[in-house]
Structure 1
Amino acid sequence: MNKWTKTATTLLALGMITSTVPADTFAGTQQAPTQQTQAQHEHDYTKQLGEQNVMSVAWYQNSAEAKALYAQGYNSAKEALSKKIKHHKGGKKLAIVLDIDETVLDNSPYQAASTLKGQSFPTGWHEWVKSAQAKPVYGAKDFLTYADKHDVEIFYVSDRSHEKDLDATIKNLKKEKLPQADKKHVLLKKEGDKSKEERRDKVRTDYNLVMLFGDNLLDFDEPKSATPKSRDELVRQHEDEFGSKYIIFPNPMYGSWEATLYNNDYSIDAKQKLEKRKQSLKYFDMKTNKVKTYQGE
């Protein structure tokens, strides 16, 4: 130890030298996480949520099976609608109601962006809608053209925002040459709307509503409660109508089914969402040779 070191040590011991280094420089690991750290953790968990959706989006965009399911749905719809047209004896004009997203238009590029960037809805959604770049899903254009040529009224009932998305939605539908794309037939969600049922009832007032199309159970009817059990009961209640009156399409990327995993509370943080997703799974335990519900690590 040289004399300068001895002097400095002595002065420090006597309290005559004051350090200009923040006190928490040396105690940081002992302190509670800062808001910045918590925000970083939330960002990381949110990114994980998005990354879990990669395979869903990849399947939707790339699998021939997805296209086949749309073909199956719209082929069944055409057959069912042709019978309804044939047996229509006058009175109210026939009408059909279709959801838009993942029923008529393919928004998977938006879902892919959210997945790759670790973002969640509604970040970037209205910008995507405004771009009017969504393409028709497989089979939709041919079926809608058929319905239009047979004088069937077509209503697009979507929970896109009426205030923010109406003009861009109509622009997109027209751009893809989809029929009856106007303000009369495009019924988006207005402030105060509780569900799509009010808009469907509006159609029923003036038309004979014979078919409903969607990728979400709520595109057809409202379950008694937003629980998996009640949703399953609704399917059993209408099981004979799927394929004839109700045409449902595949969507593994999002939907009201996901909300049930979180007890319909999207306000929980990303870490809790990750855990609740796992807790919804039944898995095979190789140690006990039994199927179990995931309870956590």
Structure 2
Amino acid sequence: MSIEQRTLPNGRWPADWTTDAEIYYAHGQVPPLAQAPNLQWVQTHYAGVDSLVRSEVWQSDILISTASGVHAANMAQYALAQILVWAHRVPNWFKYKQTQAWSDNRWDTFVPQELKGKTLGILGYGSIGRELARLAKPFGLEILVTKQNARQLADTGYIFPGQGDPNGELPDRVYPSEATRSMVAECDFVVITLPLTQRTRYLFDEAMLKAMKPTAFLVNVGRGPIIKEDDLARGLKKGWLAGAGLDVFEQEPLPKESPLWELDNIIMTPHVSGFTPHYDERATDIFAENLRRYLAGEPLLNLVDRDKG
């Protein structure tokens, strides 16, 4: 058995490179099958696999597993930070600091929302959603989640010690993904942690956004195309929802002509919520555990389900 990981020039697999590796650790593109005839398993250095959907490996029966869970701590903290920034009206802090004068009505300008008794909806209950639930529960938030299989609450992915909700005990209610619109209608905060699939692309269109409370705040740390941005911009202007926090976008970097730049009720960052100085160390831990499982003939963690995209 051989294992290979290569640094590819320009992220491309050169036509004159071949490998007899059985296992390939993918930091970028995966090799064409003709150049890797013995390949049995690909472990990715990243969590999202939408970039592989059109690859030869995707169309084969080669095992694909991901680094899902590597970002969970930071992305969950980011989502909670967005919620707290909105609840405490933090943009007003900086706005009035720049004017060098306080508002004449401090109450109307600065009074925050209390999170206790509010409802948090988490779309997708994987590693990020579970860690967010763990962090949010002590604030007194009611936690609602959507899950494709609402009856399977135990976590089957990689779990870092002390993180997440391994047994699915924290949600107050669990909804099947088909009931997403019903769930978001009850929420004061909605956080998207979903992958991009055919089912989730443009899930948040005009109809979904109009189903939200006009006082609700939407956070997206999943994938940009889950939200139809033109509909979101219109909804934020018209008051279908109160605000949004976005770390991902349909096109990245976000074009200068995007109407999102001009909106005051949106907080944006350039796809940084998963940044962590411990990324490589954690990704290595996931691969090491999966390699142990592979050699022992045990099921791999974070195994990609092609049928779900």
Scaled to the shorter chain, the TM-score interval is 0.3 to 0.5
Give the TM-score taking structure 1 as reference length: 0.35
Give the TM-score taking structure 2 as reference length: 0.34
Structure of higher RCO (CA pairs closer than 8 Å, 6+ residues apart): 1
Greater Rg over alpha carbons, structure: 1
Larger helix proportion, structure 1 or 2? 1
